[in-house]
């Protein structure tokens, strides 16, 4: 997940909002259509309902971007056999599990994006380093990153830590300490 942070070298915005890219959002789940679905339709009146067909091995279809964990799959297949689930019902359970996983991932992404935006707003509102003095103060932090840790900027952007108030303040203080002295008029 890559986001533009206060320390990415770009001019700060006054809104404090983080942009969410499509790459940050978890893919939407689309249930996989299975040819066996509908096989368990209710029996017509007077007919005895047939015993569900439990396959020897299940074959699950997952949405793009998901990989099947073989260990968990084997465990679930044994579970599905114990319940005598036909292929279509087992696939429905897998589809539901994928949906839950995607919702969990999206909630984590949303929480992280909010946290990074909150950090940014906190830095921008900080009485010591924020407000009108923020661009100048960020130039001190940029000097530290440029001279001593140019590769760190990408990591800070990727993780969102480039907006963390403690880190931003530390880099600004270090930048001021290593800067040339100025005459005070």
Reply yes or no on whether the pLDDT at 21 is more than 70: no
CB under 8 Å to 161, separation ≥6 — which residues?
5, 155, 167
CA distance 147 to 164: 20
Once rounded to an integer, what is the mean pLDDT over residues 1-24? 61
Q: Give me the pLDDT at residue 88, please.
A: 96
- pLDDT of 95-150, one tens digit each? 999 999 999 999 999 999 999 999 999 999 999 999 999 999 999 999 999 999 99
Handedness of CA 61, 66, 68, 71 (dihedral sign): negative
Residue 16, C-beta contacts closer than 8 angstroms, at least 6 positions apart = 117, 120, 121, 124
Residues near 141 by beta carbon (within 8 Å), at least 6 away in sequence: 7, 168, 171, 172, 174, 175
Rounded distance between C-alpha atoms, residue 64 and residue 49, angstroms: 36
Number of H helices, E strands in the chain: 5, 0
**83 vs 5, residue with greater confidence:** 83
Binned at pLDDT 50, 70 and 90, residue 35 comes out as very low
pLDDT at residue 19, as a whole number: 47
Instruction: Grade residue 54 by pLDDT with cuts at 50, 70 and 90.
Output: very high
In the chain, what is the straight-line distance between the N-terminal and C-terminal CA atoms, in Å?
45
Q: What is the pLDDT of residue 5?
A: 87
% of the chain exceeding 70 in pLDDT: 76
Residue with the larger pLDDT of the pair 51 and 148: 148
> What's the whole-number mean pLDDT along residues 27-36?
51
pLDDT of residue 181: 72
């Amino acid at each position: 997940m890559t986001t533009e942070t206060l320390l990415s070298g770009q001019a700060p915005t006054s809104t404090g909002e983080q942009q969410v890219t499509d790459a940050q959002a978890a893919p939407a789940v689309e249930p996989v259509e299975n040819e066996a679905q509908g096989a368990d339709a209710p029996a017509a009146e007077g007919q005895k309902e047939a015993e569900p067909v439990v396959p020897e091995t299940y074959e699950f279809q997952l949405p793009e971007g998901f990989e099947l964990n073989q260990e968990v799959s084997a465990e679930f297949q044994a579970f599905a056999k114990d319940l005598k689930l036909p292929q279509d019902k087992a696939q429905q359970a897998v589809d539901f599990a994928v949906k839950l996983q995607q919702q969990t991932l999206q909630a984590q992404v949303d929480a992280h994006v909010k946290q990074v935006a909150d950090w940014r707003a906190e830095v921008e509102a900080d009485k010591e380093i924020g407000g009108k003095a923020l661009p100048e103060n960020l130039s001190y932090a940029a000097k530290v990153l440029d001279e001593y840790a140019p590769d760190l900027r990408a990591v800070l952007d990727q993780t969102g830590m480039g907006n963390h108030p403690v880190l931003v303040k530390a880099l600004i203080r270090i930048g001021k300490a290593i800067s040339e002295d100025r005459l005070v008029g």
